[in-house]
Amino acid sequence: MANDPSVVRYLAATIAATADTIPALADGGAVTVTGAMHSFVGVVESADVRARGDATAPTATEGELIPQNSKIYLSESELQLMKFIRTGGVSATIKGHIYNVRLAELLGIL
C-alpha cells in the first residue's frame, strides 16, 4: 500500500447529456485540479456512462461503456482529460475521492 496516502477532497459529479471531465462536472461547481491531486477512485452510480480519454468527447453510443456500480480508477492525467457522458435519459453520478499519491502507488503497484 502507498506510503501515507491522504484524501485531498471528496468529489461528486453529475454525468448528464454534455460530456466533460469529472472536475468540470462536479456538483457545486467546477473543481480546479491542483498539484496535490494525483489520483481518483470512485463509483458510477444511478446509470451507465461512456468515457473517452483521447481528447475526443464521448457520445451516448461511442466511448468505453462503464456500467452502473462500476468502480473507476483515474490517474492524474485521466482526472484532467477523461470525459464522461450518460448513455440514456437518466443522469449518472460519479462519487469518490481524490488522493495525494499517484494511482499506481495508491493501488500498491509500485
Q: What is the pLDDT of residues 52-77, one digit of tens each?
A: 999 899 999 999 999 999 999 999 99
Quote the pLDDT of residue 73.
97
Quote the pLDDT of residue 109.
83
- Weakly modelled stretches of the chain, pLDDT under 50: 1-2
pTM attached to this predicted model: 0.92
Question: CA dist 62 to 26, 65, 66, 70, 74, Å?
Answer: 22, 8, 11, 18, 19
